Amino acid sequence: MKLHAIVRDLAAAEQAVAGGATVVQLRLKGASTADVVAVGRPFRALPATFVVNDDVDAALELAADGVHLGRSDEGAERALAAGLLLGLSASSVAEAVGAEARGAAYVGAGPVWATPSKQDAGPPIGLGGLGAICRAVSVPVVAIGGIDASNAAACIGAGAAGVAVIRAGADARSLVEAMDAAR
């Protein structure tokens, strides 16, 4: 689960995978299922786990490996029934435990730090909150929110299995190297 590259297009996905991303998550907020499917078609050929953000129908149509759902998104049961890898977001121990109970294969925990990418993410949980979530669940935890090469290792040190970064692109290699150094 090491590096989740959250991307909007194939070029960014290819760049992230070339840098060492093991998971590519297609995130097109507000896009229709048809638009997500149109953009996502070539992602299946990438040598990485392919996850669709927020759209179970698109994930199924694209034969994606999985779907990541936010705290208020619907469709977890349908995703599991279809055999998709299910990622669920959490910002507290209670939400993480609930996500695991709902069948999550991994928990996206955060925001660890303030992030310009998601203004409605809520207050940062910090490394203490991340560590508490990691200790509370048995599934892998992927840290998200304000993460870059300077602090990715700290997330691994707190117990995260990996990090998710929207701006991974050119920094993918340095992110992976930072996480490797923390192990």
Q: Which of 8, 71, 78, 118 is catalytic?
A: 118
Q: Which of 27, 44, 78, 92 is catalytic?
A: 27
Is residue 27 part of the annotated active site? The answer reads yes
Start-end of H helices in the chain: 10-18, 33-40, 56-61, 76-81, 93-101, 126-136, 152-157, 172-182
C-alpha 150: how far from chain center: 19
How far, in Å, CA of 144 to CA of 11, rounded?
22
Is residue 150 part of the annotated active site? The answer reads no
C-alpha 48: how far from chain center: 13
Is residue 89 part of the annotated active site? The answer reads yes
Q: Would you state the structure tokens that stand for residue 129, as one six-digit string?
A: 């909150």
Q: Would you state the structure tokens that stand for residue 83, as one six-digit string?
A: 């055999």
How far, in Å, CA of 112 to CA of 130, rounded?
7
Residues 21, 30, 52, 37: is their CA dihedral positive or negative?
A: negative
Cite the active site residues: 27, 89, 118
